[in-house]
Amino acid sequence: MNTFSGLEKLDPEHIFTAINDQPAQLRQDYGDSMRSAISADEGIGITNIILAGMGGSALAGSIAKNWLFTRLGVPFELVRGSTMPAYANNHTLVVISSYSGNTAETIQAYNNARKNNCKVVCFTNGGKLKEMAQDDNITVFELPTVSQPRLAVFASLKALVCLLIELSLVTETDMRRELEDAADFLDTQKVAWAPEWQKNNLAQDIAKELANKEVIIYTSPLLGSAGYKLKIDINENAKQVAYMNVFSELNHNEMQGWIFPKEKNVASLVLASSFDSEDTTKRIHTTQEVLKDHGYTPRVITSAGSNHIQQLLYTIILGDYISAYLAILNGVDPTPVDLVEKFKKLLTD
């Protein structure tokens, strides 16, 4: 029996098409908008970077930090909220990221960054943020129209990387080319995860293993942002509980919590990279050995790709497919986030 036979009926907004289209976002050309609004001279004197955003709008910053950790020339912090740190000033680049342009916390972060005389750039698809930025003569990078912010992450990543390159805030190694090569690589991989691919579909197989269980995701440090994206995808697409943590932090606390309760209804995933250090690989194996008598039987997913960013994005898009298939197994539409929208409405009533 094909457990995904109701896919088309449950996916009226075509999330599988949106997932499939994501690699093309890495080919987005932000060069023209930057050349007219951003000059390399504006990077002079920038001593730190902040990306402010909530939910899916913050994910590009998380991925960029994960990927560019050894290439960043200045500190880079994520602000998932409305308050700017005290050090934010005219030497701080603040990227305000809100896909809808109407996120309350992010609009307040925009106002606070302006009060602190920070250099502000906005990533958005429209809304109040775009209007405010245009009125204030602030540079806006317009994101492509998609059904949900979590499906515009690759475009946000491309915009952020282009911005950092133009301002000379990263060690330049032609990262635009790296992202375009990653897009080509993902186009070759995603075929085997699409609904049309019925034989040995890895994304479908993993979704079946996760159905009706709480999901615990552990990742190597190299894939931390991909693990967090998968957690969000399972929460928002599949409407299912999921948690994540990173080696080796989890070895100092969370692993102790596997003792109770004795009876567990969990599915465990480990996201590993072929570039993991020997120490990380040993920790992954040793964790499995120590916890094998406490319900920890993880499915290990080893990312593919010839470099770090390819492996990060490979894991992310595979996770997108897994979570969308899990939604179908749960009998729900993957796209809307009704509880989140209800919560926002109650806050404004």
- Write out the catalytic residue numbers: 236, 252, 344
- Which tokens hold the place of 185? 């690589």
324 closest CA partner among 18, 62, 54: 18
26 closest CA partner among 262, 317, 230: 317
Query: What's the sign of the alpha-carbon dihedral 37, 171, 318, 255?
Result: negative
**Cα gap 16→340, rounded to integer Å:** 21
**Cα gap 342→290, rounded to integer Å:** 42
| Alpha-carbon distances of 211 from 2, 263, 264, 325, rounded to whole Å | 15, 17, 14, 10
